[in-house]
Structure 1
Amino acid sequence: MNLRPVFWAAVGLIAGILAWHRFAPSPDPSIPYGNVSVQGVVDSFPVPSGGPRPGITVRLKCDEISGNLLVRLPGAVDVAYGDKIAAAGTMERPAGPRNPGGPDEKLVLKRKGALGRLTVKRRDDFRILERGGGSAFLRRIFRVRKSLEEIIDRELPPPERDVAKLILLGGGTLDPKVRDSFAKSGTAHLLAISGGHVAFIAGIIGAALTVFRLPRRAVFGFTILLLAMYCVMAGSSPSVLRAVIMIGIHLAGLALNREPELSTSLSWAALCILCLNPMELYNPGFQLSFLSVFILGSLDGTGGNVFFRAAASSAFVWLGTMAVAAYHFQIFCPVSIFSNLVLFPYLGVVLACGAAFLALGSVSGPAGGVLGGSLWLSVKALLAMSRWFSSLPFAWFHVSPPASWEIAGSLLLAFGWAFRSGLGRKNIWIFTAALLALNFSAWSAVFRAAPEDLRVTFLDVGHGDAALLEFPGGGTLLVDGGAGGDGGSWDRGGNVVGPFLRYRGIHRLDGVLATHPHYDHYGGLETVLEDFNVDRFFHNGDISREFLRAKGWKTETPLARLSAGDRLLSGGGADISVLHPPKGEAFHKSPNERSIVFRLEFGDFSALFAGDAEKRALRNVIQNFPGAEIRADVLKVPHHGSDPGPVLDEFLDRVRPGIAVVSEGKNPFGLPSASVLFRLRKAGARTVQTGISGAVTLEAGRDGTRFRTMLK
């Protein structure tokens, strides 16, 4: 009797029970939100937090709730795994995507085994109660990691320092522009510890152990043990876990004089990772890591010389993972076929320099300093090559996330290729029929009719503005782009606006419009102008080519000044009338008072975009357009809900909006003003705040106006 199916069914049942016990939500987790105080034990290695303000993030096993929290601590605090701490801060309720195509915070927290995220703003709101808790084994492992990080910090400057940490130790932060160059050269996977890294380290460990003339099985056993310790120290990401488990199974098979099978070791690796954390199934690293190895395993029989086999492997991995990578990262990198032929082997040079540097640096500071120069030079060359490959013509393209049928088709082709030798004539016909069905879906999408409705989306970009107008017939206009990435801040253009545009299938914009030169409005447009084809850059007269060059922008998009009386005809029956600033108006000390104000009209629908207009600008609009020119169904509330004084009441009386959208987020100014929100409701407007409701979408067509928010 064949018991193999029974065995695997039992394994699956046990894994399911373990997963349910660990990840099923409790009926009442009793998680407090808002301003809270918690105590607990640090359950992870502290990692740097991204953003303009330095800080670290730890996972905290709390006393007050049955679960873990991610806690962001301010500054470079001396906290370690096992410390019991007390912290007071703001607990945010995890939400789904705040913008169409945006990240799902709930899913991110589940993947990290956390119930919520606590932000501690002041150093005085955090203290260490006890040290030395947790597992003694893990404390030693993380102590070693910290000492290795300190060696790298001492000898290498950024960005080489940050890249070296990622490649050698895993985790950490990286300058967005450096990470972008690796992404656009198709080599971002080199920054994550994976099979190549682990195989190289296993070779170093094995070579070192043979010096002691240990028996073959002892060498394999010690190598597996040390790799497991390295896996823990490197953060146990899916790629490093997969590599360590597969290499461990391979070495165990050699020790037992058995030839391991790729499919068996790959399956065991996936099973172990998903038993530990079933949510890793949704991790892009998990999906791409296993898919890449599966594809490489199907190429064992590829003939030809070494270079041909390497080129074939690079091409097939790129083709096989293309749809999954595009879904998660919205990028298509043909250059990766060639860049990986150069940079993947070169990674061995970086790893060799890094291993020698850390080994000597742990024993002798001066000796490590000598090798620190070689590591710095090797990483610098890696950075230069990634930038060069990413700068080549047609190296990369931003794409929309593929549809389900496109991902299914990609995986079908990959699996069909892997099992090509086992496909009989009957199955070949089934395979072909499936591909024809996918062809039908693809071509039906190509010939889909242009939209007939007007769509307006107010994006949630925090304290700032960004809105996309999609006109009947396919025209597009982006109004503002949120704040950019200056000073290490989070770039709304690259992280919110760009992914949203690609999610909507938009790769070219008819225009972008900066209402005025305040950074929370125009800053994010820099990334948009770099990554998308834009026909025209509209502004209020305060932005010039010299202004943009002084800011370091490289765009050559034609500029066009707008002022009151100008009209933009988008086609499809939509019309934009500019109401402010007046023609020939002299420069004003407040950019807000020269903000572009315009009215959008489509059939019976109208919307008024008031930018950051304040008292003087609103008064000008009221006086210069005394008729019904400013009446609107929807009002983009001026200046994030700031109170301009009594003029607001007269302005609202003239506009009479049914819906008022306040584009706002966390800010030190107390916006939106409670007085403004009260007066909006008093005027009969349904008020929606992007900081609470997420992105707001309005669709106007023959059947009326439809309205929805991302967060219900």
Structure 2
Amino acid sequence: MLFGGYQGLSEDLVADFQATGIVHILSVSGSHISLIAAVMAWLAAALRLPRAVSVALVLSCIALYSILAGCVPPVIRSAIMGGLAFLALALGRERESRCILLLTGIFMLLWNPLLLFHISFELSYLATAGLLFLAPVFRAWLRARGMPDVLAMGLAITLSAQLATLPVLAWYFGQVSLSALLANLLVVPILELIIILGLFAGLVAFLLPLLGHVVFASTSLLLGLAAELTHVLARLSGGILYISAMRWPVVVLYYFALGTLLLTEAQREWLRTRLASWRRPAFALFLALAVAVAVYRAVTPERLAVHFIDVGQGDAALVVTPRGRALLIDTGGTRDGSFDIGARVDVPYLLHHGIREVEAVFLTHAHEDHAQGCGAILKKMPVGHVYTAGEGTAAYARSMGIGDADPLLQKFSRAQEGDALTIDGVKVEVLFAPPAPEGGGTGNEVSNVYRVSYGRAQFLFTGDLVKEQEAKLLETGKDVRAAVLKAGHHGSATSSSLAFLQAVKPSYGVFCVGFENSFGHPKEEVLRRYEQQGIEILRTDQAGAIVFETDGEKMWVRTHVEQS
């Protein structure tokens, strides 16, 4: 909390902070800068220091804190925006603070235009704007209705920050914390006290080590109290509201509506008069648009969407049926468990696309880079069933980091060759399910092969199937043709034999690989083989997420990163 970072913190604690909307406390943000500036400004006022000295004290403390926090870009951005904005407010120059915020944002974007797409910049800037523009309005409204100033200020700050950042939170996380109001009233004041006491103890310890230890011990007790309160609030029923990502027209309308809160009464009356005069034309336009959308949907065939999610050096695909039901084929993961792909990539991706539950998960085999992410998905959202290869449930439990007796494992069963599942006209077939290796264990050679079909469009998923097993699949005489082939074993030389490519006859080959991965995937010889067969190559390390849509006849493809 003092200098940012999640190292050494339990996943449950971080999850509690996320659920209550106060996770920003664990990273240096504008709230830290504002807190330090507020304490220093209060101290200067208590000592009756001249204004020039007060300004120098506040700026010096912010600069010192930024140095202690490592002067990383997010800290510098927060120091510039939060420090200048709060300083202007502390000096009674609210209008100037808004101009300073605008100029600071423009200067930063001129210096680095890509900051516009950085979540840290977006959240810091919008939260600060909410503090400056919306918080005074909410505070005045609440105080006019008899609420004590302390509560009015706390609610105003929370509401303004949440409303100002709502579209960004919806885009990246797909959820908003409803328990944030209680957390900001009950927990955040304790955490802010801990931050101030912790910084104070660090300074005192240089001169009086014993006193420093006493203060640190006190902050530890307070931190335990804050953690318990957060844990309780995180588990309140209905504490999290799941929302889908907003389209840009909706975002524009949202901020327009939010901006009306800043209008004077005379301006609102003028706007009401204008809207009243436009009521009939606006209603006619709305009705025409509604009819046009209804007709378009009626004459447009329903589409299947298949997302190849960028999970680094691993496989994960999301299948969304024409009626919005979700299936997953592999879920990604890391071999060393250093990064929870399921919690930090898969679940946010699903929420971003409005997915709240998963009908079924099909895992090709138990290796972590294919199955580990399933553990977090099972814990964070409803999942109907999990189909596995033949290594045994215990192998998947180890891969996902869940106990052998966990009730979630009751959802698991082995997929049998020839099985098929049809949902909303989308068919998932188990084309190949080789037996587990002798003596147990897992391996690429046991990878299941799944085919997803919708109309005349097929997608073939081979996991890490090796050439020898590709040959065995072809020996069965099954029709393995598919328009899209997920390249076996991330483009390793052990997969994608010429005979297999000629049998599948894909138009597209998708390589799920990590950027500059240590394995050298995909191999050049494999890429040449695809090119010689006239197969269009798409790679997650270059394109990011790759999304196919099909109505059963035609195929459309788009990538997160535009391909040249």
Aligned identity (percent) is 24
Q: Deviations over 1:89-123 (max 9, x none)?
A: xxxxxxxxxxxxxxxxxxxxxxxxxxxxxxxxxxx
CA deviation after TM superposition for structure 1 residue 566, in Å: 0.5
1:689 aligns with 2:542: no
Distance 1:616 1:263, change over 3 A: same
The superposition leaves residues 254-288 of structure 1 with CA deviations (integer Å, 9 ceiling, x where unpaired) of xxxxxx34233222233245335544565221112
Answer whether contact 2:173 2:351 (CA < 8 A) is retained.
no
Are 2:309 and 2:545, in contact at CA under 8 Å, matched by a contact in 1?
Answer: yes
Find the partner of 2:131 among 292, 314, 319.
Answer: 292
Structure 1 counterpart of 2:2, one-letter code: A
Matched, 1:417 2:261: yes
The CA distance in 1 between the partners of 2:397 and 2:333, in whole Å, is 15
State the AA in 2 paired with 1:559: F
Deviation at 1:407, TM superposition (A): 2.4
**Structure-2 change in CA distance of 1:520 and 1:689 (3 Å):** same
Q: Is the 8 A contact 2:391 2:436 kept in 1?
A: no
Matches within 5 A, 1:318-357: 318-357=162-201
**1:464 CA drift (Å):** 1.0
Q: Give the count of matched residue pairs.
A: 532
> What SS does structure 2 have at the residue aligned with 1:536?
strand
Q: Hey, what's the Cα distance between the residues in 2 that align with 1:354 and 1:207?
A: 18
Q: Report if aligned partners of 1:580, 1:617 keep a CA contact under 8 Å in 2.
A: no
In structure 1, C-alpha distance between the alignment counterparts of 2:250 and 2:509, rounded to whole Å:
39
Task: Provide the residue aligned with 2:244 in structure 1.
Answer: 400
State the one-letter code of the partner of 2:501.
L
Task: Specify whether residues 367 and 439 from structure 1 end up closer, same or farther in structure 2 by C-alpha distance, changes over 3 A only.
Answer: farther
**Residue identity opposite 1:322 in structure 2:** L
Question: Is residue 2:537 matched to residue 1:679?
Answer: no
Structure 2 residue runs without a partner (length 5+)? none
User: Which one of the candidate residues 172, 181, 190 is aligned to 2:25?
Assistant: 190
1:268 pairs with 2:100: yes
Residue identity opposite 1:493 in structure 2 = G
**Which residue of structure 1 aligns with residue 418 of structure 2?**
565
What are the Cα deviations for residues 165-223 of structure 1, in whole angstroms up to 9, with x where unaligned? 23xxxx78675834443221111233455666445534544566679x77533542443
Corresponding letter in the other structure for 1:249: A
CA pair 673-710 structure 1, distance change in 2 beyond 3 A: same
Cα distance, 1:525 vs structure 2: 1.8
The worse-fitting range, judged by mean Cα deviation, of 279-288 and 631-640 is: 279-288
Please state if 1:201 is matched with 2:39: no
Once the 2 structures are TM-superposed, how far is the Cα of residue 636 of structure 1 from its aligned partner? 1.7
Q: Using the alignment, how far apart are the partners of 1:295 and 1:289 within structure 2?
A: 10
SS of equivalent residue, structure 1 residue 402: coil
Q: Secondary structure at the match of 2:497?
A: helix
Q: Given residue 216 of structure 1, which amino acid in structure 2 is its aligned partner?
A: P
Report if aligned partners of 2:312, 2:541 keep a CA contact under 8 Å in 1: yes
2:513 to 649, 664, 676: 664
- 1:413 CA drift (Å): 3.1
CA-based RMSD of the aligned residues comes to 3.7
1:305 aligns with: 147
Asked whether the equivalents of residues 314 and 341 of structure 1 are also in contact (C-alpha less than 8 Å), the reply is no
How high is the TM-score relative to the length of structure 2?
Answer: 0.82
Amino acid at match of 1:500: Y
In structure 2, how many angstroms separate the alpha carbons of the residues matched to 1:441 and 1:358?
66
How big is the shift at 1:632? 2.4
Distance apart, 1:520 and its partner CA: 0.2
2:326 paired residue among 464, 472, 476: 476
User: Match of 1:305, as an amino acid?
Assistant: M
- SS of alignment partner, residue 606 of structure 1: strand
CA contact (8 A) 2:174 2:354 kept: no
Structure 2: how far apart are the matches of 1:622 and 1:195? 60
Residues 405 and 445 of structure 1: CA distance in aligned 2, closer, same or farther (over 3 Å): farther
Q: Given the superposition, is the C-alpha separation of residues 654 and 428 from structure 1 closer, same or farther in structure 2, using an over 3 Å criterion?
A: same
Assess if the C-alpha contact under 8 Å between 2:456 and 2:553 holds in 1.
no
Partner residue in 2 for 1:217: 51
CA deviation string 1:214-248 (max 9, x = no partner): 75335424434424534643545444433322343
Partner of 1:609: 461
User: C-alpha deviations, 1:648-695, integer Å up to 9, x for none?
Assistant: 233333323333222222433333333333333344433333323433
Which moved further from structure 2: 514-523 or 296-305? 296-305
List runs of 5+ in structure 1 lacking aligned partners: 1-162, 254-259
> Aligned with 1:201: secondary structure?
helix
- Following TM superposition, by how much is the alpha carbon of 1:586 offset from its aligned partner in structure 2, in angstroms? 6.9
Name the structure 2 match of 1:516. Answer: 365
Label 1:393 to 1:314 Cα distance change in 2 as closer, same or farther (>3 A).
farther
- The residue number in structure 1 matching 2:220 is 376
Q: 1:650 aligns with which of 481, 491, 499?
A: 499
CA distance in structure 2 between the partners assigned to 1:289 and 1:651 by the alignment: 57
Structure with greater helix percent: 2
Matching residue's letter, 2:411 = P
- Please say if residues 458 and 467 of structure 1, whose CA atoms lie closer than 8 Å, have aligned partners that are also in contact: yes
Distance 1:274 1:387, change over 3 A: farther
Aligned-pair distance for 1:399? 2.8
- For residue 310 of structure 1, report the CA deviation from its aligned partner: 4.9
| Letter matched to residue 578 of structure 1 | V
Q: Give me the whole-angstrom Cα distance separating, in 2, the residues matched to 1:272 and 1:707.
A: 39
1:482 Cα offset (Å)? 1.0
- Residues 1:249 and 2:88 are matched in the alignment: yes
One-letter code aligned to 2:25: L
Q: Which amino acid aligns with 1:291?
A: G
Is 1:398–1:531's contact at 8 Å kept on the other side of the alignment? no
Taking the aligned partners of 2:32 and 2:424, their CA distance within structure 1 comes to 55
In the TM superposition, 1:463-542 aligns within 5 A as: 463-484=313-334, 487=337, 489-542=338-391
The reply on whether 1:458 has 2:290 as its aligned counterpart is no
Aligned 8 A contact 1:416 1:431 in 2:
no
Shift of residue 429, structure 1, vs aligned partner: 4.0
| Mapped contact 2:88–2:96 kept (Cα < 8 A) | no
Match of 2:402 among 552, 556, 562: 552
> How far does residue 445 in structure 1 lie from its aligned partner after superposition?
12
CA distance in structure 2 between the partners assigned to 1:401 and 1:321 by the alignment: 12
Shift of 1:295: 1.2
SS in 2 for 1:510: strand
Counterpart contact for 1:563–1:582, Cα < 8 Å:
no
